[in-house]
Structure 1
Amino acid sequence: MSDCPAIDPPRLGEPYLLTPGPLTTSYAVKQAMLRDWGSWDGDFRAMTAEMRERLVAMLGDGHEAFTCVPMQGSGSFSVEAMLGSFVPRDGKALVLANGAYGQRAAQALAYIGRAFDALDKGDYLPPRGPEVAARLAADPAVTHVVAIHCETSSGILNPLAEIAEAVAAAGRTLLVDAMSAFGALPLPPAEVPYAALVSSANKCIEGVPGFGFVLARREAVVAAEGNAHSLCLDVHAQWAAMEATGQWRYTPPTHAVAAFLEALRAHAAEGGVAARGARYAENRDVLVAGMRALGFETLLADRWLSPIITTFFCPADPAFSFDAFYDGMKARGFIIYPGKLTVAESFRLGHIGQVDADVMRQAVAAVEATLRALGVTDPAPPAAALAERAKLGEAA
């Protein structure tokens, strides 16, 4: 563990970002962006190499078979790069969807002309291993399965181990959107078989936006040559260039890479994936307990709550307005997230980034003060929302 505290002291007026990323970063990460770097210079190539090595090592048991391919752009750029590079043009994907990011993966497949089917579980339920196995048995044309590890539109943590087992038993290939989970939730390839995962710099490793990365089996990357639909989003071409020259094919986000290296070092000093995940889980537990004590209800049953972000139903009280609630929370030092559901009014509070349990207690106090200022006396959700949750969510 580092001699430094896990998180920085109070923010000197800067609000905390209770979002799934971008998120609150440390002073050291911000300071790392004060220097300019030459994108072809040897020092920056060494930075890229160190970053790739550290990311692969974070996979844990079985990482030796993997390589890292960073990709410019937001995390969604890397998701599309993974799909377009690893699902061959004559392949077919089964997308496991229970929120906006599964739906986005399906949309990307449609745009790039790949055949796909979707198992859509709605907002409340996770895809389970047996139903994935049944869908694969019924459709031998499916070559790849696309799963979201943590679906942040609801905050649900999907049971990836049982999904991976079903996919492997059927002889198909698993691709994982681990955007909001990598770095806080373990996913060792020796225990959970998959061909590739994607994540982003500005999630659980606590860097800043600017690039994502694909962690994939080398054999899968080699086999992906010629698959890509895009010049810029070709994972194999990016990997081949980096292996040959140590350089990015096109202009890299140099400052974001420098910040990310600092964040990677802090991640290791904190204790790695296990320690980062434990801090986030404690944040969630403190936040959820405090919000429930005020009268709020979570969208999900406890068994599916992730340590990344939690969705709460909006109060039925007519005095509640999300826009006014948002403004009140911002005035009290917290940026929150609107809901992203199809069936219920909601909002989301993230618990990742440079925040700890004490910050979560401050956030709950800010919620209480904001409700008081709005004249909201009862944070309970509409009865219909609870009835829907009881019918669907508890059946998972």
Structure 2
Amino acid sequence: MHYKLLTPGPLTTSDTVKQSMLKDWCTWDEEYKTLVEDIRSKLLMINNLSNEKYTVTLMQGSGTYGVESTIISSVGENDHLLVLKNGAYGERIHQIASIAKKNVSALSFSETAILDSDVLDQYLTQNPEVTHVAFVHCETTTGILNPLESLCEVVKRHNKTLIVDAMSSLGGIPIAIDELKIDFIISSSNKCLQGVPGFSFIISSKESIMKCKGNSTSLSLDLYDQWVNMESDPGKWRFTSPTHVVRAFYQAILELINEGGITARYNRYLNNQKLLVKGLGTLGFECCIDVTIQSPIITTFLFPENKTFTFQSLYDYLKGYGFVIYPGKLSNLNVFRIGNIGDINSNDIELLIMVLNNYKTKILKE
């Protein structure tokens, strides 16, 4: 049996999602195009959004492609983007905008602290030239869940365009997109919706995406042109789409709906995460961040104070028993990360804890 991915994506998929990729598809075929349109409709439906006000654009490539597409297409020549960052993925948004030569500034926070809406409020008051604000909802550098509601309230009170990187949260955490007035929210096929890697998707208000015309500094990542093409020729991407991935994603959405929707999935992830923290806590592994700002997606643990411990020894031991975890990504702390999203349940987490207990007993020596 292949190992299970305890990572924030790619992640472990169901057997039925895997099996759905065994058939080949033609991108021009009406059956395939209907499938694409159904995906776009269902993404709105599961997020309680109206197709009169919101739309979905699918974009080839990983989640970062979707983020880059949104940034370079929504921020115009005379606009100014503010990026909030408290980890590697917020930093990546800043890098994308800088390389694209967009007008951009940043507010930086500690990697182990949430984004501060009061600081944001003060900054926007003092810097009226800002037109767009972008931040990461679940910063998987640590597993922090940034305060989406308060941040969105500040951004919209200042009448700015709001861009949310919800790569590791959309589909796994309920998000009131319409109520929060989010202009663009981005995720990908291989995260909480439990598909496989290959494309990203952007949910946007129609009013906001229509303002993107002519802004993109890339041909293939032009969000506006991709959307116009999908609207004028339903189900057709501008360039070759990852057909097998699309079919797997369709199956994954059906399985999300059958599970009970986003709230039911959130509850499963939350239960997994609580079991994980409790179990590792009994073995002496401490969490990096406070429980009050911890997401149910991925948890960062500090290295134990043990001279024989190395991440590689832990990784190799767990892989030998069928689990793969993530290395740390913090700049000044020795940590490792364990995700609990995907086709993972409480039995998997309990087995992991047993294996970790064996690792501590057999491998770690004071």
User: Unaligned stretches of 5+ in structure 1?
Assistant: 1-12, 378-396
- Asked if 1:253 corresponds to 2:248, the answer is no
Task: Pick one of 16, 41, 45 that aligns with 2:29.
Answer: 41
Distance in 2 (CA, whole Å) between partners of 1:179 and 1:64 is: 24
- Asked if 1:52 corresponds to 2:45, the answer is no
The percentage of counterpart residues that share the same residue type is: 40
Aligned-residue RMSD, C-alpha? 1.0
Task: Pick one of 171, 186, 189 that aligns with 1:198.
Answer: 186
In structure 1, what is the equivalent of residue 332 of structure 2? 343
Distance in 1 (CA, whole Å) between partners of 2:45 and 2:80 is: 31
Task: Pick one of 226, 241, 244 that aligns with 2:232.
Answer: 244
Task: Identify if the C-alpha distance between structure 1 residues 62 and 38 changes in structure 2 by more than 3 Å, giving closer, same or farther.
Answer: closer
**Is the CA contact (8 Å cut-off) linking 1:63 and 1:189 kept in structure 2?**
no
User: Unaligned stretches of 5+ in structure 2?
Assistant: none
Task: Pick one of 116, 120, 125 that aligns with 2:113.
Answer: 125
Distance in 2 (CA, whole Å) between partners of 1:270 and 1:37 is: 27
User: Deviations along 1:4-44, whole A, 9 cap, x unmatched?
Assistant: xxxxxxxxx11110000000000000000000000111011
Which secondary structure does the structure 1 equivalent of 2:82 belong to? Answer: strand
TM-score (ref. length: structure 2) = 0.98
Task: Identify if the C-alpha distance between structure 1 residues 125 and 62 changes in structure 2 by more than 3 Å, giving closer, same or farther.
Answer: farther
**Is the CA contact (8 Å cut-off) linking 1:60 and 1:187 kept in structure 2?**
no
- Asked if 1:298 corresponds to 2:284, the answer is no
Distance in 2 (CA, whole Å) between partners of 1:376 and 1:354 is: 34
Task: Pick one of 91, 97, 102 that aligns with 2:85.
Answer: 97
User: Deviations along 1:38-70, whole A, 9 cap, x unmatched?
Assistant: 011101100100000011122225664110000
Distance in 2 (CA, whole Å) between partners of 1:188 and 1:53 is: 17
In structure 2, what is the equivalent of residue 7 of structure 1? none
Distance in 1 (CA, whole Å) between partners of 2:362 and 2:78 is: 58
In structure 2, what is the equivalent of residue 235 of structure 1? 223
Distance in 2 (CA, whole Å) between partners of 1:242 and 1:215 is: 13
User: Deviations along 1:208-231, whole A, 9 cap, x unmatched?
Assistant: 000000100111111111011100
- The one-letter code matched in structure 2 to 1:38 is C
Task: Identify if the C-alpha distance between structure 1 residues 376 and 175 changes in structure 2 by more than 3 Å, giving closer, same or farther.
Answer: farther
In structure 1, what is the equivalent of residue 213 of structure 2? 225
Which secondary structure does the structure 1 equivalent of 2:354 belong to? Answer: helix
Task: Identify if the C-alpha distance between structure 1 residues 245 and 213 changes in structure 2 by more than 3 Å, giving closer, same or farther.
Answer: same
Summarize the alignment of residues 262-281 of structure 1 with structure 2, pairs less than 5 Å apart. 262-281=251-270
Distance in 1 (CA, whole Å) between partners of 2:325 and 2:64 is: 21
In structure 1, what is the equivalent of residue 125 of structure 2? 137
In structure 2, what is the equivalent of residue 385 of structure 1? none
Shift of 1:371: 2.4
- The one-letter code matched in structure 1 to 2:279 is G
TM-score (ref. length: structure 1) = 0.91
Distance in 2 (CA, whole Å) between partners of 1:369 and 1:209 is: 33
In structure 2, what is the equivalent of residue 18 of structure 1? 6
User: Deviations along 1:333-385, whole A, 9 cap, x unmatched?
Assistant: 100000000110000000100001111111111112122232245xxxxxxxx
**Is the CA contact (8 Å cut-off) linking 2:44 and 2:50 kept in structure 1?**
no
**Is the CA contact (8 Å cut-off) linking 2:41 and 2:51 kept in structure 1?**
no
Shift of 1:191: 2.0
**Is the CA contact (8 Å cut-off) linking 1:62 and 1:188 kept in structure 2?**
no
Distance in 1 (CA, whole Å) between partners of 2:84 and 2:284 is: 33
In structure 2, what is the equivalent of residue 213 of structure 1? 201
Shift of 1:277: 0.4
Spell out structure 1 runs of 4+ moving beyond 4 A.
Answer: 61-64
